């Protein structure tokens, strides 16, 4: 980080300030918000989106789709209107597409551009420029796109799409919804059928939403449990009215906060509980957390409920690595929960966490240690010996934890801070705005 960036950093000490009570509502799901804008931009006619997450990552997607021809506006009621160009109709962007911090924007948009006759350059911040893009470059190259990437297959990179592209059958070498989605989105403007085989299921919002927009998409389950997803290309997408459910990955911070802080009894409303996303809540229940689902319902084709969460003494467990894809973004906050549990929590199979917005295994190990937790780092996870319910000591005066431009590290340590004796000093809260701009104000209102 340059000295200029250092001057811009926004540090904050998060301290204990009583229980979390009442009802809060978290913003819209980030994955569904990205896809609403992208698919709306490929439909002919007007897609209307209510509850869109207005975080920096989603705004990066919106800016990129505008640069490729879509008209995207927000009205005074907060509803978003997307007028699409039609599949095959994306225009040549006149400038580099700035993806900010957003891996989802980058990888999914690379899929869209790959099968259009246009060339786009993708740039991003220091965090995104370290992340591997080879995982999407590989299949999209097989479909005919050409890439000039920075060393190691990273941003900045330039992609020249091919139209017509070549349909492929691709077996995912990593469990990644972003890679799956990139190939399916490339398949939308490719003649014939594009197939993705997913040995381990990952979040299925792309499949649900592509179907909702009228694409011909099928999902079969093979004898070995792999999911075989086929999309027919040269699709015609029909505009939709979308209601985006609350983001379970954002709700996670408040659920853990209420479990950890004595006296808490909080309802988090409108939480998306798609089974490919919601494993954290099951793991926390296994640890003894009191999390009750109220008013389970359907919002925009996704299961949703209000979660009533009460302070609980948690017990450490061995987390089954099979659940990793369904809570891949929730490990940083699970580590915080484990740090206050009774006994040992062991996590394994978390290699993918090392290539998120930061290396979340080593970033969380270092940060939790500074806050006084007992943590051992392994190649593919953390082992945490909890306090047995006592608050963490917190960070010493003048010492702050390092967030590495990673929103989830910042928010996880904020929650560690409110469950600590001295508080936790976070070096930079700016990254929180990528996914959860109202996090700090909601935290205050839940503790008022």
Candidate list 24, 26, 27, 31; residue touching ligand S3P; CB under 6 A: 31
CB 227 to ligand S3P: min, Å: 14
CB 389 to ligand S3P: min, Å: 30
Three-state SS at 220: strand
102 annotated as ligand-binding: no
The residue sitting closest to ligand S3P, measured at its beta carbon, is: 31
Is the CB of residue 333 less than 8 Å from the CB of residue 303? no
- Is residue 99 a contact residue for ligand S3P (CB under 6 A)? no
What are the tokens at 423? 């508080």
- Is residue 406 a contact residue for ligand S3P (CB under 6 A)? no
* Residue of 131, 177, 176, 174 lying closest to 150 (CA atoms): 131
Query: Which residues 6+ apart lie within 8 Å of 14 measured at CB?
Result: 413, 414, 415, 416, 417, 418, 423, 424, 425, 426
Candidate list 176, 250, 264, 358; residue touching ligand S3P; CB under 6 A: 176
- Residue 54 CB-density burial (10 A; 0-12 exposed, 13-18 middle, 19+ buried): middle
- Radius of gyration, alpha carbons of the chain: 21
Bridge partner list, 266: 22, 309
Nearer to ligand S3P, 185 or 340 (CB): 185
Candidate list 33, 47, 178, 194; residue touching ligand S3P; CB under 6 A: 178
CB 149 to ligand S3P: min, Å: 17
The Cβ of residue 33 has, within 10 Å, a number of other Cβ atoms equal to: 29
Which residue bears the tokens 């893009």? Answer: 133
Task: Show the site string, 257-276: x = touches ligand S3P by CB under 6 A, - = not.
Answer: --------------------
Nearer to ligand S3P, 352 or 380 (CB): 352
- Is residue 209 a contact residue for ligand S3P (CB under 6 A)? no
Phi, psi at residue 434, to the nearest 5°?
A: -65, -35
Nearer to ligand S3P, 12 or 407 (CB): 407
DSSP symbols for 25-60 = E--B-HHHHHHHHHHHHHSSSEEEEES---SHHHHH
Check 329, 406, 427, 428 and give the catalytic one.
329
Candidate list 181, 189, 240, 387; residue touching ligand S3P; CB under 6 A: 181
> Cα–Cα distances in Å, from 354 out to 103, 147, 149, 401, 425?
14, 24, 21, 18, 23
Site for ligand S3P in 101-120 (CB under 6 A): 104
DSSP state for residue 354 in the 8-state scheme: G
329 is catalytic: yes
Nearer to ligand S3P, 56 or 329 (CB): 329
CB 330 to ligand S3P: min, Å: 10
- Is residue 204 a contact residue for ligand S3P (CB under 6 A)? no
360 annotated as ligand-binding: yes
What are the tokens at 142? 């097989």
356 annotated as ligand-binding: yes
* Residue range at the interface with ligand S3P (CB under 6 A); choices 78-86, 93-101, 172-180, 389-397: 172-180
Provide the strand spans (E) within 257-387: 265-272, 290-299, 302-310, 344-346, 374-378, 381-385
Q: What's the rounded Cα separation, in Å, for the pair 158 and 150? A: 9
* Residue range at the interface with ligand S3P (CB under 6 A); choices 8-16, 171-179, 299-307, 392-400: 171-179
What are the tokens at 28? 């819209």
Residue 157, sorted as left (phi over 0), alpha (psi -120 to 50) or beta, turns out to be: beta
What are the tokens at 3? 């000295």
Candidate list 37, 58, 177, 409; residue touching ligand S3P; CB under 6 A: 177
342 annotated as ligand-binding: no
31 annotated as ligand-binding: yes
Task: Show the site string, 325-364: x = touches ligand S3P by CB under 6 A, - = not.
Answer: ---xx----------------------x------------
- Is residue 56 a contact residue for ligand S3P (CB under 6 A)? no
Rule CB under 6 A: which residues touch ligand S3P?
31, 104, 176-178, 181, 202-203, 328-329, 352
Binding residues for phosphoenolpyruvate are 30, 103, 131, 178, 360, 408
Q: What residues are annotated to the active site?
A: 329
Binding residues for 3-phosphoshikimate are 30-31, 35, 176, 178, 329, 356
Binding residues are 30-31, 35, 103, 131, 176, 178, 329, 356, 360, 408
């Amino acid at each position: 980080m340059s000295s200029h960036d250092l001057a811009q950093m926004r540090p904050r000490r998060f301290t204990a300030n009583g229980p979390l009570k009442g009802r809060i509502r978290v913003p819209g799901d980030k994955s569904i918000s990205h896809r609403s804008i992208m698919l709306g931009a490929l439909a002919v006619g007007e897609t209307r989106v209510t509850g869109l997450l207005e975080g920096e990552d989603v705004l990066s997607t919106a800016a990129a789709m505008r640069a490729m021809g879509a008209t995207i506006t927000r009205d005074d009621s907060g509803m978003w209107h997307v007028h699409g160009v039609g599949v095959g109709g994306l225009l040549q962007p006149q400038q580099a597409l700035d993806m900010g911090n957003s891996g989802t924007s980058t990888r999914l948009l690379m899929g869209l551009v790959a099968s259009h006759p246009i060339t786009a350059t993708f740039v991003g911040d220091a965090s995104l420029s370290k992340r591997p893009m080879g995982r999407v470059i590989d299949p999209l190259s097989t479909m005919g796109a050409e890439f000039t990437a920075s060393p190691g297959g990273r941003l900045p990179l330039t992609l020249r799409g091919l139209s017509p592209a070549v349909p492929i059958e691709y077996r995912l070498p990593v469990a990644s919804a972003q890679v799956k989605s990139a190939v399916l989105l490339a398949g939308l403007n490719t003649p014939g059928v594009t197939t993705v085989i997913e040995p381990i299921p990952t979040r299925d919002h792309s499949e649900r939403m592509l179907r909702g927009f009228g694409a011909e998409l099928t999902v079969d389950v093979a004898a070995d449990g792999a999911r075989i997803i086929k999309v027919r290309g040269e699709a015609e997408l029909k505009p939709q009215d979308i209601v985006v459910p609350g983001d379970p990955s954002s709700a996670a911070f408040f659920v853990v906060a209420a479990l950890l802080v004595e006296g808490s009894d909080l309802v988090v409303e409108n939480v998306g509980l798609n089974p490919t996303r919601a494993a954290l809540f099951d793991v926390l229940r296994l640890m003894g957390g009191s999390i009750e689902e109220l008013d389970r319902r359907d919002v925009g084709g996704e299961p949703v409920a209000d979660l009533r969460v009460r302070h609980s003494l948690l017990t450490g467990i061995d987390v089954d690595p099979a659940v990793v894809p369904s809570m891949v973004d929730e490990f940083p906050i699970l580590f915080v929960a484990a740090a206050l549990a009774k006994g040992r929590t062991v996590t394994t199979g978390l290699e993918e966490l090392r290539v998120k917005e930061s290396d979340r295994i080593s970033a969380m190990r270092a940060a939790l240690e500074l806050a006084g937790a007992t943590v051992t780092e392994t190649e593919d996870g953390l082992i945490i010996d909890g306090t047995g319910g006592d608050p963490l000591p917190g960070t010493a005066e003048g010492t702050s934890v390092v967030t590495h431009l990673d929103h989830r590290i910042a928010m996880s340590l904020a929650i560690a801070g409110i469950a600590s004796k001295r508080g936790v000093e976070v070096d930079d809260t700016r990254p929180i705005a990528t996914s959860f701009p109202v996090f700090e104000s909601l935290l205050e209102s839940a503790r008022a």
